[in-house]
Amino acid sequence: MLAIAVRPGSPGSVHARELDRPSIGDVPDGRGVLVRTIRVGLCGTDREIIDGLFGTPPEGADHLVLGHESLGRVEAVGDGVAGQLEPGTLVVATVRRSGTSPYDRIGMYDFTTDPPLERGINRWHGFLSEFYLDTEDFLVPVPASLARVGVLLEPLSIVEKGLAQADEIQRRLRIWRPQRAAVTGAGTIGLLVTLALRLRGVDVTVLSRRPAPYRNSDLVKALGATYLSTAGTSLAGAGRACGPFDLVFEASGHSPFAFEAVGALGANGIVVLSGVTGGPRPIEIDANAINQDLVLNNKVIVGTVNASRDDFVRGVEDLVRAERTYPGWLERLLTTPVHGLSDAGAIVTALADREAIKAFVVVDRSLDAAP
């Protein structure tokens, strides 16, 4: 079968290669599930792995199959698979796999203290291949009604975890009901955060660098949210005009927002950081003022990464609600398709397209023929 892989740590090594097709017999006790890949989303993590910045191959391998945002269809199941999965079922696979830490042993593998096992990222091949093999514990069924947008479930799971963590922490307040939120960043994650918050009835202000109008700002407005450009409005200014905010969800990867967000929060508010930043970025901050604000106003900052199976399941529920509440909106995020696995260069080009919202690889064209 054909796959797209890299030699981690070697910039520009992305390539198409032939691999053996996996078999459900490769998983012991009849627990194997063979999945035919339909679509695989692309994101900044893939770009950084292609650039040689990080990524680890499986033990004994010199390459890593890319892709951690999947949508597939069950091809075959082992005799030991007794759940909801059967041939023809649409599924999305979670990214992290269990290690040996106490958190892994209770199913919280997204909080592992072990070196992470992540499909398509660290020590486990990803989904950019014609088929992949997994077990039902890590496969989330997706209804046929979401076939055209199900590839967005993995990025949405990041959002679901961040919001669930905010809710869990804010149980300290007993009656916390967020009314106003700010989202920094209007890329895929920022737009999905905005969607999830609007589905929960929250008044949302989105801040991003580019002035409106353009495609992303139009998508924000289609949800009934407010779009502001940081070219003319600071986060603090947005807090004065539209806040104070009960929640700030940082999805831009612009690390100074981690500190600026504190001042835009109201008392008892929470900042969720999801942007992964690399390299140095020294800035000058008023540490005393930030510390005092956090302490005297009971504010919280929390980081969130990756997601659990429960987050994926909640994501399915929100995708269904989104299709009903904002029909057609999700598909507008899927801007930049790459057809097939034969041209690795096309993937690099799609990832470099600054006008793209969500680039994705069409591995199997069965959805293209669907009405």
Q: Tens digits of per-residue pLDDT, 181-204?
A: 999 999 999 999 999 999 999 999
User: Kind and range of the H or E element at 294?
Assistant: helix 287-296
pLDDT band at 206 (very low <50, low <70, confident <90, very high): very high
Ordered domains of the chain (ranges, CATH): 2-142+329-367 (3.90.180.10), 157-303 (3.40.50.720)
pLDDT band at 369 (very low <50, low <70, confident <90, very high): low
**Residue 371: per-residue pLDDT:** 53
Look at residue 39 and tell me whether its pLDDT is greater than 80: yes
**Residues 63 and 49 sit within 8 Å (Cβ to Cβ):** no
Structure tokens at 207: 């801040």
Distance of alpha carbon 311 from alpha carbon 295, whole angstroms: 30
Q: Which of 225, 264, 219 is nearest to 246 (CA)?
A: 264
Mean pLDDT of 336-361: 97
Q: What Cα–Cα distance (Å) separates residue 7 from each residue in 163, 268, 288, 351? A: 35, 46, 46, 18
The pTM for the full model equals 0.96
**Residue 370: per-residue pLDDT:** 56
Structure tokens at 179: 């009314």
**Residues 148 and 367 sit within 8 Å (Cβ to Cβ):** yes
Percentage, residues of the chain above pLDDT 90: 93
Per residue in 322-331, pLDDT (tens digit) is 999 999 999 9
Mean pLDDT of 222-229: 98
